[in-house]
Amino acid sequence: MEFVAVDSDRFFLKSVQRKIRDDGLARLAGQSFHYADIGLTAHWGRPIGPGLDSPRRLQKFRRYSDLPPESFEGGRTPDFVLVDGRFRVACVLKTLRALRGERGWTIAMDDYGDRPHFHVVAEFAEIDQLVNGRMAVITAAKPVSSEALDSAIRKYETELD
C-alpha cells in the first residue's frame, strides 16, 4: 500500500506509523510520513501559543496545505486524498487545483456535514456523497476560474479549522 501522510501532531504521526508497522503493512518504498511544523500545538494538532498571527507562523500555516512533492513523483497522481485535520478547506482546494484535468481520483473531507464553514468547498467541487451525514466524498471539480480558486486558497490557508 502506497501513501503520503501529513500531520501537525508529531506524536499522532508516529503512532500511525507504528500501527502500520505493527500490522505488517509497512513498506520500504512508497510510504511517506510528513510532520508539518506549524509551531506549538495542543490536542488534535491545533495551533496554540503567542504569535498565531505573526508572519512566520502564518507562512507555516500556508505551507501546511501544500501537497507533498512525492505525491506526484514518477508521473503518479493521487487516487485518494483523505482530508482530516487543520486547514481542511485549503487542503481540499489545493488538491482540486493539483488534480485539474486528471481523472479517477477521490477526495474525502471529514466533518464536512457538521461544519457549515466547510461548505464553501461546494462552490469548487461536486459533493457526490455525504457518508454518515459528515464525510464529504468528492470525485469532480466544478468548472471555476483559476483566479477564483487561487483567491479562495489564499483566504483559507490560514483558517485553522
pLDDT tens digit string along 7-16?
998 899 999 9
Q: Which residues partner with 37 through β-bridges?
A: none
pLDDT tens digit string along 15-24?
999 999 999 9
| Predicted local distance difference test score (pLDDT) of residue 1 | 75
How far apart (Å, rounded) are the C-alpha atoms in residues 36 and 63? 8
pLDDT bin (cut points 50, 70, 90) of residue 29 is: confident
pLDDT tens digit string along 118-133?
999 999 999 999 999 9
pTM of full prediction above 0.85: yes
- Beta-strand pair 135-141/106-109: antiparallel
Domain edges within the chain: 3-156
Indicate whether 35 pLDDT > 80: yes
Task: Please determine, looking at this structure, whether the domain spanning 3-156 carries the CATH number 3.40.50.150.
Answer: yes
Quote the distance between the C-alpha of residue 139 and its chain's center.
15
Give DSSP secondary structure letters for 117-158. Answer: GGGGGGGTEEEEEEETTTEEEEEEE----HHHHHHHHHHHTT
